[in-house]
Structure 1
Amino acid sequence: MSPVFRSLLTRSLPLVAVALLTGCAIAKPRTDDPHEKFNRSVYAFNNSVDKAVVRPVAMGYRKVTTEGMRRSVSDFFTNIRLPITVANDLLQARPKEAVQSSGRFIVNLTFGLGGLFDPASELGIPLNETDFGVTLARWGVPEGSFLMLPFLGPTTMRDVWRIPVDGYFFDPLSYFARNNSYEYGQEYLPQVLYLISLRSSAVDAESFLNSAYDPYAFLRDAFRQQRLYMIYRGNPPEDVIEQMQGLKDKNFNPDELLEEQQKWQNQQPTEKPTQNPPKQQ
């Protein structure tokens, strides 16, 4: 797969999670970022690639499709990639979740016209996605340093392994591309469409990132928080949340950080509202 389009995946996931994370108590930026100088340079590079190539493609996709079409495409790819979740549920010694995800996959594949629709949700079968990074966390592998990789986007020393492991062994889209060969590389079209769909869904969350006091730190922390919620299946312990938000640090004042961020936002230029011309009598 083209590395430019693979960056779509890792960049979009934190953006999608941003809207969910803004409801949490304000958290101070993480300080355990030993490669921050390198990471910020890579972030600027990836951001330039996104603005020049990836985002325009995603916006074009939104213009030529309806919301219903995009939802069906998203449902299809969510379902077709469920073998990744099933395999990792088994590796995590969670047989009940593996059976549940397998049932969801079969129901949507059969009654959902190949996954274009989501009857499994209507039947009360929840979607609980997981991956090899969560599997490593399940068995005690530490998170490691945060990394911002060229074209691949945000990850950690632990989570980066989900890209080769899930991508090679468990992802049906990757399996299809490896075992088929068409003219002009058309075997990669399903993967490209999947990533365009993901980037398209992240457009609505861009305002959170663009209005952040420090977009790099915001994206970094949102990514790590989103991964934490995946590890705990959406219910991290209270002490983990407090530690994540810096509330256990005696020197951390959330009101002071909030005031600093609001002061920065007030200093940003605002667009003047367009005045409507007076109506003709």
Structure 2
Amino acid sequence: MPTPSLLRSFLPRRGLILLATALLAGCAIAPPRTDDPLQKVNRKVYAFNDRLDKAVLRPAAVGYRKITNPPVRRSVNNFFTNIEMPITVANNLLQARPSQALGNTGRFLINLTVGVGGIFDPATRMGLPLQTTDFGITLARWGVPEGDFLMLPLLGPSTVRDVWHYPVDGYFFDPLSLIAKNHGFNFGQYYLPQVLYVVSMRSQLIDAEGFLQTAYDPYAFLRDAYRQRRLYMLYDGNPPADVIEKMQGVDQPGFDPDELLEQQKQWEQQHATSKSAPTKS
């Protein structure tokens, strides 16, 4: 079973995926992808993850929101976001981007000191915005192809290339993992902050999860939102238009956005009908 440190690597990313879903909701619907050869298995893993989330993670996140207020949750998120910044700095150096490494190091140190261990975020107000990267993006910058899309048990969406950031970043660059490896804990205490981070990150998704639930195909929507976000990370938020069109498939012969919009409309009507139908007691 994956350790909580791997789960921590996934949750922030998934949170952004669901937020990206909100942005994508107003865009043209991309046609069904033909480059997902593992889709049959991926969909089964997605269903497993969804059941696990509803049974364990979401209830824990709801409970966490009930016993905390927004300032406390924001402080917890700030702390863990800052303590993971060495992952970004290390990958900035691996990507041969020294200026980004210097800026992110400054952000880390400012929040660690002036920000009282990272619970506050003065670096952003000082003009040092949050910029994250990982070993998957490092491989992409050096020309490693994306590979097939993967839906991983517990960890969620990834690709053959991106999956490598879990062992590399988690083992070599994650401060919490390094502390755990170099200290003996009789009762597994080092899991506690990581579990807290997983729960706190999941709690941030509650307000946005409706976007995924009303998608025409939640699995496909999550898959494409993930791949689009990774593409934006690779190009620092400005991917070329032809790269976006190729990823979305709108450059394929026979692409008919009107047909896809009609399919979306029909699905939404069916979904609304099923929601309003009375349940049998």
* Structural RMSD (CA): 1.8
Tell whether 2:105 aligns with 1:102. yes
Distance 2:156 2:176 in 1: 20
Structure 1: gaps (5+ residues): 273-281
Partner residue of 2:73?
Answer: 70
Partner of 2:250: 247
- Residue of structure 1 in register with 2:207 after alignment: 204
1:4/1:54 contact within 8 Å kept: no
- By how many angstroms is 1:222 displaced? 1.1
The answer to whether the 8 Å contact 1:42/1:150 transfers is yes
One-letter code aligned to 1:70: R
CA distance in 2, matches of 1:68, 1:215: 31
Further displaced range: 11-20 or 115-124 = 11-20
Residue 122 of structure 1: CA displacement? Answer: 0.5
Report if aligned partners of 1:4, 1:151 keep a CA contact under 8 Å in 2.
no
Distance 2:137 2:247 in 1: 17
Verify: 1:116 aligned to 2:119, yes or no: yes
2:121 and 2:86 mapped to 1: Cα distance?
A: 16
Q: Is residue 10 of structure 1 aligned with residue 13 of structure 2?
A: no
State the distance in 2 between where 1:16 and 1:183 align: 39
| Residue identity in the other structure for 2:10 | T
| Identity in percent | 63
Q: Note closer, same or farther for the CA distance 1:49–1:200 as it changes in structure 2 (3 Å cut).
A: same
Question: Once the 2 structures are TM-superposed, how far is the Cα of residue 7 of structure 1 from its aligned partner?
Answer: 4.5
Query: Which residue is 1:257 aligned to?
Result: 260
**Which range is displaced more, 103-112 or 236-245?**
236-245
Structure 2: which 5+ residue stretches go unaligned? none
- CA–CA distance in structure 2, aligned partners of residues 205 and 258 of structure 1: 22
**Alignment CA distance shift 1:48-1:8 (3 Å):** farther
In the alignment, is the contact (CA less than 8 A) between 1:35 and 1:147 conserved in 2? yes
Mean alpha-carbon deviation: is it higher for 256-265 or for 181-190?
181-190
Shift of 1:3: 4.5
In the alignment of these two chains, the number of paired residues is: 272
Within 5 Å, give how 1:31-46 maps onto structure 2. 31-46=34-49
Shift of 1:252: 1.0
User: Aligned partners of 2:91, 2:260: CA distance in 1, in Å?
Assistant: 39
3-state SS of the aligned residue for 1:151?
coil
Q: Deviations over 1:103-127 (max 9, x none)?
A: 1001111111111111111011111
* Equivalence for 1:170: 173
After TM superposition, where is structure 1 displaced by more than 6 Å over at least 4 residues in a row?
A: none
The alignment partner of 1:114 has SS state of coil
Give the partner amino acid of 1:188: Y
Task: Tell me the TM-score normalised to structure 1 length.
Answer: 0.91
Indicate the residue corresponding to 2:85 in structure 1: 82
**SS across alignment from 1:147:** strand
How does the TM-score come out when normalised to structure 2? 0.91
Mark the CA change 1:5 to 1:51 in structure 2 (over 3 Å): closer, same or farther: farther
Equivalent position SS for 1:224: helix
User: What is the aligned partner in structure 1 of residue 157 from structure 2?
Assistant: 154
Structure 2 residue aligned with 1:275? none
